[in-house]
Amino acid sequence: QMLLGSDAGAQSLATTIQTAWATFIRGAAPAAEALPRWPIYELPRRSTMLIDRESHVVDDPAGAQRALWP
């Protein structure tokens, strides 16, 4: 509570992240009940999970910035 305050959404997000890390450490794909299926990161798609109160997968989220570098 010291770090999260009284925001229940922040606690829920922290639990989701902890669960995803724990499944990944055990050798499985990172997953949690509150997350959509987390695809394998592969080129050129670059599927990336954006973890927030409403988590979702986006393809190549930094593509425009990355394209600036040769």
Residue 47 lies inside a defined structural domain of this protein: yes
Give the tokens for residue 6: 């009284």
Number of domains in the chain: 1
Is residue 36 situated within a structural domain? yes
In a domain? residue 27: yes
Is 53 a domain residue? yes
**Structural domain contains residue 14:** yes
Q: Determine, yes or no, domain membership for 3.
A: no
Please tell me the distance from the alpha carbon of residue 56 to that of residue 58, in angstroms, as a whole number: 7
1 within some domain:
no
Q: What is the reported pTM?
A: 0.75
Burial-class residue 59 by CB neighbours within 10 Å (0-12, 13-18, 19+).
exposed
Residue 9, pLDDT score: 85
Q: What is the pLDDT of residues 10-66, one digit of tens each?
A: 888 999 999 999 999 999 889 999 999 999 999 999 999 999 989 999 999 999 999
Within-domain flag for 40: yes
Structural domain span for residue 29:
8-67
